[in-house]
Structure 1
């Protein structure tokens, strides 16, 4: 009988201690610190200060038009050069595209009218519509393409980008 009471007391004690470790707060009853005191509140306070704040809830339809874009997630490439690259090199399959870093990787493809198969990597590094914003790496199956071929592709992309910009300006 005495063993049964000891086991029951032990189970009750474990349950009480387990429940006292639940809850929130800082150093009060139910704070998770069964010995009382404040524990390491400095670390807890730092964790709370550095947590990102939740987005404000939108209350009206007009809240959709507020400029709440995070500058760390906005796209910083020129859209005309980006779209022109996709247009000019449309004969190549797109293997990867990342508008946040400005890189488009194309697989091997033959240009219209035949010729040697090429693959390309396009890097749009600036939001300006400028030749310095564009870098093209062009490869054939036997290695890097000639500098003249790379220049022709860059010129074609920039020309198409200017056409797209002019077309949007006539809206």
Structure 2
């Protein structure tokens, strides 16, 4: 009985402490971070921010990891020029596929966390800025989507 009373006392103390941490300035219980002072980059947060799902979209990654990794696997013959996992963009330099004679460069954008064909945007460009046939672009997209499904199955996601 004493242990139960001790746990109840601790729980009540924690609740009272959390209640004392209440929001300051502006009243209300929005739980949003407020800017303080003259520095707009510094934000004051409260204990309630821990319980809310108010992630800053500038710090969250919203790309599908299987599409991302599959794109890098399928197009591994192309040199990477830039990669931005926050926007989901991969830009490559020119490279020649194995067994091919024509060089290509690619820009890949994974725009959604879903493993879906609509989440993948691919732009291919031939040497000298030449256009690439739509069938070639579709074949590369299909290869990326197939590899993404293989990676997901391997991870036990299905």
Calculate the TM-score normalised by the size of structure 1.
Answer: 0.61
Distance 2:91 2:105 in 1: 8
Aligned: 1:53 with 2:16 = no
Distance 2:155 2:54 in 1: 24
Question: How many equivalent pairs are there?
Answer: 117
Identify the residue that residue 99 of structure 1 maps to in structure 2.
85
Contact conserved, 2:36 with 2:43, CA < 8 A, in 1?
A: no
Picking from 119, 122, 132, the partner of 1:145 is: 132
RMSD of Structure 2 on Structure 1 (CA): 2.8
**What is the SS of the residue equivalent to 1:80?**
helix
Calculate the TM-score normalised by the size of structure 2.
Answer: 0.66
Q: Give the 5 Å matches for 1:9-28.
A: none
4+ runs deviating over 2 angstroms: 46-51, 53-56, 67-72
Identify the residue that residue 83 of structure 1 maps to in structure 2.
69
Q: Which has the higher contact order (CA 8 A, sep 6+)?
A: 2
Closer, same or farther in 2 for the Cα pair 1:55/1:157, shift >3 Å? farther
Greater C-alpha radius of gyration: 1
Distance 1:161 1:115 in 2: 26
